[in-house]
Amino acid sequence: MGVLPVPAEVRAILLDIEGTTTPIAFVQETLFPYIKDNVKEYLRAHWEEEECQRDVGLLRKQAQEDSSLDGAVPIPLESGSGEEELERIIQAIVDNVHWQMSLDRKTTALKQLQGHMWRAAYATGHVKGEIFEDVVPAIRKWREAGMKVYIYSSGSVEAQKLLFGYSTEGDILELFDGHFDTKIGPKVESESYRRIAASIGCATNNILFLTDVPREANAAEEADTHVAVVIRPGNAGLTDDEKSYYSLISSFTELFLPSST
């Protein structure tokens, strides 16, 4: 087991979810198939609700922005009323969601809908958020040492709260001081890390960001945020250059805080 000293100026640890706190397999083999299998029924059942209409509005706007992309699926406006017309629009949304998911897109529109759909899956006990076993004990230790702990995931804040609220370790939401999603900006843009620092009320170099994705680490580092790349079973491999450039950890227990004993 390695040891990674945390720089003394770090006051907050910012955590990615998929591939960092949580196995990629849980997201790809449980959460995402649930969306693909249930999106049509969900839209039919919730169509009249305000929240669902907001999600549809965001997806339609995103589809317009995506119209020049290869294979993009448009979402037409309803022209008229009736069951058949509604089915035509719902089918277009289903196709659009499937297309976005086939590319693992991280659009706020897709992530908002997913978060709302997972609500029922977690609340009925159909799904429990999976967390690597080192995560909870390590976060407790960091917090005892005075560290603030935040989540930054492409999954919506609502989806994050479901995952940690209904997790294999129980409701562990109390471990987090706050949550960020793509509403603050994409994880591959350095400006997002500046906005997060401003929102927390610290400098970017007071934050240590843990992620499995080198492009995200690179964006954070450009903003002068400390980073470490997390290696977990099932994560994408790193190039030799990435392995030698980034600080790497394979468990949260490898982080050594200056004040820890």
Ligand X SMILES: CSCCC(=O)C(=O)COP(=O)(O)O
Q: How far is the CB of 22 from ligand X (least distance, A)?
A: 7
> In 10 A of CB 36, how many CB atoms?
13
Are 258 and 8 in contact, with CB atoms under 8 Å apart? yes
Q: How far is the CB of 71 from ligand X (least distance, A)?
A: 20
Distance, in Å, from the CA atom of 129 to the CA atom of 171, rounded to the nearest integer, reads 10
Among 13, 17, 43, 220, binds ligand X (CB under 6 A): 17
Our finding on whether 93 is near ligand X (CB under 6 A) is no
Our finding on whether 56 is near ligand X (CB under 6 A) is no
- Residue 194 binds which of Mg ion, ligand X, none (CB < 5-8 A, kind-dependent): none
Among 6, 13, 14, 31, binds ligand X (CB under 6 A): 31
Our finding on whether 106 is near ligand X (CB under 6 A) is yes
Beta bridge partners of 234: none
Are 41 and 47 in contact, with CB atoms under 8 Å apart? no
Our finding on whether 39 is near ligand X (CB under 6 A) is no
**# of chain residues touching ligand X (CB under 6 A):** 16
Are 109 and 55 in contact, with CB atoms under 8 Å apart? yes
Our finding on whether 153 is near ligand X (CB under 6 A) is yes
Which three-class secondary structure state does DSSP give residue 58?
helix
83 labelled ligand-binding: no
Type of residue found at 23: P
Are 216 and 17 in contact, with CB atoms under 8 Å apart? no
Our finding on whether 147 is near ligand X (CB under 6 A) is no
> In 10 A of CB 103, how many CB atoms?
12
Among 154, 117, 200, which residue's Cα sits nearest to residue 20? 154
Are 97 and 39 in contact, with CB atoms under 8 Å apart? yes
In 103-188, DSSP assigns E strands to 148-152, 178-180
Among 6, 12, 14, 27, binds ligand X (CB under 6 A): 27
Our finding on whether 157 is near ligand X (CB under 6 A) is no
Of the pair 89, 187, the CB lying nearest ligand X is at: 187
User: Considering only 17-25, 80-88, 226-234, 239-247, which stretch makes contact with ligand X by CB under 6 A?
Assistant: 17-25
Which positions lie near ligand X, rule CB under 6 A? 16-19, 27, 31, 106, 111, 114, 153-155, 159-160, 163, 187
Instruction: Enumerate the known binding-site residues for Mg(2+).
Output: 16, 18, 212
Instruction: Enumerate the known binding-site residues.
Output: 16, 18, 153-154, 187, 212
